Each structure stands twice: as C-alpha cells, then as structure tokens.
Chain A
Amino acid sequence: MAQEQAAVTGRSEAASGWLLISPTFLYSVLLLAAPLVAVLVYALTLKDVGGFSFANFHEVWTKPIYQKLMGRSLTVSFSVTLVTVALAYPVAYFVSFHVHPSKKSLWLFLITIPFWTSYLIRVFLWKVILGYNGVVNSGLMSLGLIDAPLQAINYNVQAMILTLAHAYAPFAILPIFVSLEKIDRSLLEAGQDLGESRWMTFLRVTLPLSMPGVIAAVLIVFIPTVGDYVTPDLIGGGKLPMIANMIEVTMLKQNDRHMGSAIAVTAMLVVAVVSLIFLMLNKRFLRGTK
C-alpha cells in the first residue's frame, strides 16, 4: 500500500518534472541538437555531389593550414586560460578571505561590471587601447617616449591573449571564489595547528580544496576561447585567424557548408578531448568531499 502510494507520487513527481523541463528541452532540441545534427550531416556529405563521405574530415585533418590554425587556437586559449586563472585566483582568494563578509556581495557585484557592456564592445575597447593609433601608442608618442607607434602591442597573439584574459576574468573568478567560500575555515587553523606555515597550509589544504573551482574556471575559459573569432578579427587585425575565423570564411565567404561543418566538428572534438584529458588528470580533486 505504502509502496503503491510512493509509486503514484513518484510518477506524478516525474510527470511534473518533465513538464517543468519540457520548454527548455524543446528549445534545446530545436535550436541546439537539430543544428548540431545538421552540421554533422553536412560534414559527412560532399559539396555539390552529395553522398556519405569522410573526405571533408580527411582534408581537415591532413591539410597543414587547418593544423596550423587549430594549433594557434589551442595555443591562444591555453595561454588565455593560464593567464586568466592565474590572475583570477588571487582576486577570488582576496574576496573570500580578506573582504569582510558584509562587503563580499559588493565586491562580486563590482567584479561583474564588465558584463554590463557587450563582449564585442569590450574587445573593441582593447583595440582602441592597444591599436596602432591607440591610446597607449598616441600617449607614449605625445610624451615623446617613442617616435613611432609600437608594433609589439597590437595585431599579435599577445594582444589577443591580453584581450581575452580580460574578457573572461569574471568567469574564472566566480567559480574559484565559490569553491574557496566552501572551505571550512577551521581546516586552515588545523593546518597551522599541525605545524604548517600559512603558505604550506595554502598549498596542502586551501589549494587542493579549491581545485574544483579552478577546474571549472579552466573549462569555462578554455572552451569558449578556442572558438573565439571576434578577437582575432579585431585585435589580431585579421592577420592571425584562429579556427573559428576559418570556419566563418569557409562557411560564409566560400559558401562551402560541408567543409565548414567538418572544421567545426573537428574543433568540437579537439576541445572535447582536451577537456576530458584535463578532467581525467584532475579526477582526484573532483571526488565527492561531502
């Protein structure tokens, strides 16, 4: 009897659960899964000829141009991830450990301010700052410190990394902050009580316990930056395309959806594999610790 009752409530709970997620589910199917399937189908068929073939993939995986662009994309996003997380950690640590609890929400609010303007505008502002006739160059020139605009700060990979690191900083700060907040402060006292200095306690207690946040930050920054195509266009001046620019050119300019789809699917696979390897390497930090 009790079991039946449980079964009945279970069913109705499940039903209301389905009802609750169905709008999102429908939306996901129509606007995410369906296009993905379409991309996959394009990638596996030949332009003009049609018919199932791996030829597109074969071309993407063997032609040096794609390898070079994919390599650049990965290099840029690895560097951006490294820089972003390395800079975000101290900020998150400071807010979590040294900001008075009543001021923490204010700090988080301030950290999210860059989100108030569109990503495009933020990237464009960096162009204004770093560009050939940008703020830095014209400033330095009017001060007489340099005679000609510096080339080293614009239209190169470093400028792209700088721009992207700034754009993604809040994404990295927040998950690290959350994981630091969850650490029981008595654990840090215990570390010192057991003879370790503050620094060693950080290395042996705080850092490993905040790793879930760091891992989340790494993925949140790494995955979208691989596919970024605004920054290479604006900051890289179009001279340093990344894989996403290649997809855009192939798809829209060359009107080759089949080839473009194959590049896109390849990029997705590469990102997925790199992310999975990263997760595997950090598996021990992600065990349940409740």
Chain B
Amino acid sequence: MSTKDAMIEFRDVHKYYGDYHALRGITGTIRPGEFFSLLGPSGCGKTTLLRTIAGFEGISSGAVLVDGRDMAGVPANKRPTNMVFQSYAIFPHLSVEQNVGFGLRKDPRPAAEKAKAVDEALEMVGLKGYGKRAAHALSGGQRQRVALARALILKPKVLLLDEPLSALDKKMREQMQMELIKLQRQVGITFILVTHDQEEALVMSDRIAVMFEGEIAQLADPETLYRRPNSRKVADFIGTMNFLPARVTGEAGDTVEVEAAGFGRFGVAASQVMGGKTSEGATVGFRPETLTILFDGSAPSDRETMATIEEVVYFGDMTYYDVRIDGTQTAVRISMRNVFGRPVLDIGARARVGWSPGALVLFR
C-alpha cells in the first residue's frame, strides 16, 4: 500500500524493554478517516504501540510514519496526534475551559476567537455551559468528554484513545461508544482506539488489529474477524467459538473434505479454511448462532444431527444451550433467539440440531 492511503504506517516495529520483547515486528497501515482498534489481552503491546504513535515510547527498530512522515526523533509535542488518556489526565488545577484550551497557548488567534473555539468544542462533546466548572468536580463521563474536547480542539490528524471507556459503567460505556462513533464521523479524522473489550472493538471499528504477545495476529474488518478468524487464538478471543476435532480426508478443487465426529463427512470451502493447526490435528470451529435447535415446525435445515441438552442459560431475549452432539465428547454452545410461545428446553432433553457446512471454519 502506498503511503498516500496510510495515515499511520508501521514498518517492522520492534520494541524492547531490557530483555522483554514488547513489540515483535509490527507491520501494517491505518487508513485516513478510519476508526481503527488495537484489540488484545492486557500485556499484548497494544498500549505500547499506541504510545509509539503519540511519541511517549521510542521504538527499538523499524519506523512509525504518520501521514507519510517518519516520526523518528519527533517529540510528542510536535506530533500531529492527540491522545485521550485512560485516566483522562484532566488537569485538576484548571477549570473545564482552561483544560480544553490548554493546547491553544501558541495559537495565534485572538483570545475571543479561542474562547469561541473552546465553547464549540465543549458543545460538540455535549458539555455546553460547563466551561467555568472546576475540573475536579466532574463525573467520569464528563471528564472523558473534556479529554475529547481538549484533544479535538487542536484538530489532530489522528486521535489516539487509550482504553477511554474502561472506567465507565456499562450503560455509560455503551452510550459513549455510540457518541464516539458519531463524533468520529462528524470530524472525519482517524481514530485509533486501544481496547481489551472485543465487543467494544466490534461495535466501534472500521478495522481491528488483534494483537497477542507483541504481534498483530489478524488485521481485518469486524465481520471478517468474526466470521473468518485466521487462527484458533483469534477465534477464541473474539466472541465465542466452539471447537471440535476434525480430520481432513481429502481436497477437491476449492473444497476441503472433512470428517468430524457428530457431523459426519462434509466439504469446507477454501475461503473458510484457516491456519492454526494444533497438535491434535485439524479443528472445526463454529459460532453459537450458526447452529440451531430445531423445533417442530422449524424450517428444515441443511444438515441435522441429534444432541442432548446439558446446560441452559436463559438471558431473556436469548437462551444459551450447552449441548453434547451425539458421538462427541465435549459440549458446544448454541445460542437461540427466544420466540414467544416456544418453550425453553430442559436439561437432559433430546434435541435436533440443524447446521450448515458453509458456516463452519476449518483450522488446519
């Protein structure tokens, strides 16, 4: 990809802390105007990677380019990026408007115009009229908004968000997710979000880089990550995926012939075949919603197999069934949308399970 299409470009970035290899050859690009997420468990290097863009972490080798310019030797205060910190880092000795206007000191505009810009920034994040308040009197959600306004007022090329929602309660978090998406569309600049919450990443991002142990395991859009994770590890991290051992029996054109206990023989399209072979051999993976429990009167399914219900978890709109498919050893999870008038099955009940080879992924 040419640098023209890249707002951020990582070229084989390595980072060592003493002997610890924190970033192991990160290569990839983030497009202009994209909502991009760095997703991974704690300690995977996602925050370190974000901080190399901001200029708070140097890199041991490789290059980080922002808008085509190598950032080597460029200090944080000279980079076209701004950051929303995990702790929000609101200056406690300043008022809300002083916080938001902090970065405007060198702005040549007259004071009245700057004050207007501060008001506009506050209005954009829904804090109109809060300017005179003391920063330390704000709630968590309000601090977050001040941090956003303070960064966006400088019109950065890239906005970096370091787990900005992790300190908020669930409801507030979901609300802020939607607001961030809207805000990003409104201002049109590149947002890079660091999160360990796969759901948050799926909801918010145009593209996601899943990171494990200092490497990018997969970089793709949310649907690809969910439907076609390129390894068992990614599949396991994003949502729930059931795994069953399988045996590859042959290949015919674009189809791989597979045999799996409980499912019999079937073909998997090459596009659904991923790496990630384990020592036990190949595995088939499927999401809980790709299997269905067939009730009397349900539409007939592509394929059917019998199973025993082992556990029932009722969620109101959904029910999760852990079922053991006949001929297999381990239970798999099936999620069913509840329909009015249809009973929830009991533990121990027998059920017909419908499935389709097209929805499976083969790891070999």
Contacts and interface: CB of A to CB of B under 8 A. Distances in A.
A256 interface: no
A108 to B, nearest CB: 25
Given A189-B56, A287-B134, A290-B136, A195 B106 contact: yes
Contact of B89 (A189, A196, A289): A189
B83 A285 contact: no
Interface in B71-112: 75-78, 81-83, 85-87, 89, 91-93, 102-103, 105-106
B114 to A, nearest CB: 14
Contacts of A287: 134
B154 interface: yes
Contact of B85 (A186, A197, A200): A186
B139 to A, nearest CB: 14
A200 B75 CA distance: 14
Interface in B49-86: 54-56, 75-78, 81-83, 85-86
Contact of B93 (A192, A200, A208): A208
Interface string B31-50: 00000000000000000000
Interface in A179-210: 184, 186-187, 189-197, 200, 204-205, 208-209
A193 B77 contact: yes
A50 interface: no
B150 interface: yes
A279 B83 CA distance: 36
Interface string A249-290: 000000000000000000000000000000000000101111
Contacts of A197: 75, 77
A208 B136 CA distance: 15
Of B54, B83, B151, the most chain A CB neighbours within 10 A belong to B83
Contact of B150 (A194, A204, A205, A209): A194
Given A195-B154, A196-B105, A289-B136, A190 B77 contact: no
B89 A192 contact: no
Contacts of A200: 105
Contacts of A187: 89, 91-92
A214 to B, nearest CB: 13
Contact of A195 (B92, B103, B136): B103
Nearest to B81: A193
B136 A192 contact: no
Contacts, number: 68
A208 B94 CA distance: 10
B136 A189 contact: no
Contacts of A184: 87, 89
Of B75, B91, B151, B154, the most chain A CB neighbours within 10 A belong to B91
A162 B92 CA distance: 36
B93 A289 contact: yes
Nearest to B150: A194
A193 B93 contact: no
Given A194-B82, A285-B93, A189 B87 contact: no
Contacts of B151: 193-194
Contacts of A193: 54, 56, 76-77, 81-83, 151
Nearest to A189: B56
Contacts of A186: 85-87, 89
Of B54, B78, B89, B134, the most chain A CB neighbours within 10 A belong to B89
Contacts of B75: 192, 197
Interface string B113-125: 0000000000000
B93 A288 contact: no
Nearest to A205: B91
A287 B92 CA distance: 10
A196 B77 contact: yes
Contacts of A209: 91-93
A286 to B, nearest CB: 10
B83 A190 contact: yes
B154 A190 contact: no
B85 to A, nearest CB: 5
A190 B87 CA distance: 10
A186 B106 CA distance: 22
A194 B103 contact: yes
A166 to B, nearest CB: 32
B154 A194 contact: yes
Contacts of A190: 83, 85, 89, 91
Contacts of A189: 54, 56, 76, 83, 85, 89
Contacts of B87: 184, 186
A244 B185 CA distance: 71
Nearest to A207: B93
Contacts of B86: 186
Interface in B156-178: none
A184 to B, nearest CB: 6
The list of the 6 closest CB pairs from A to B, nearest first, reads: A194-B103, A190-B89, A289-B92, A186-B89, A192-B76, A192-B77
22 contacts: A186-B86, A189-B54, A189-B56, A192-B76, A193-B77, A193-B81, A194-B77, A194-B82, A194-B103, A195-B77, A195-B103, A195-B106, A195-B154, A196-B103, A204-B102, A208-B93, A285-B93, A288-B136, A289-B92, A289-B136, A290-B92, A290-B136
Interface of B: 54-56, 75-78, 81-83, 85-87, 89, 91-93, 102-103, 105-106, 134, 136, 150-151, 154
Given A190-B89, A191-B102, A288-B136, 10 more contacts: A184-B89, A186-B85, A187-B92, A190-B83, A190-B85, A192-B76, A194-B151, A196-B103, A197-B77, A209-B93
Interface of A: 184, 186-187, 189-197, 200, 204-205, 208-209, 285, 287-290
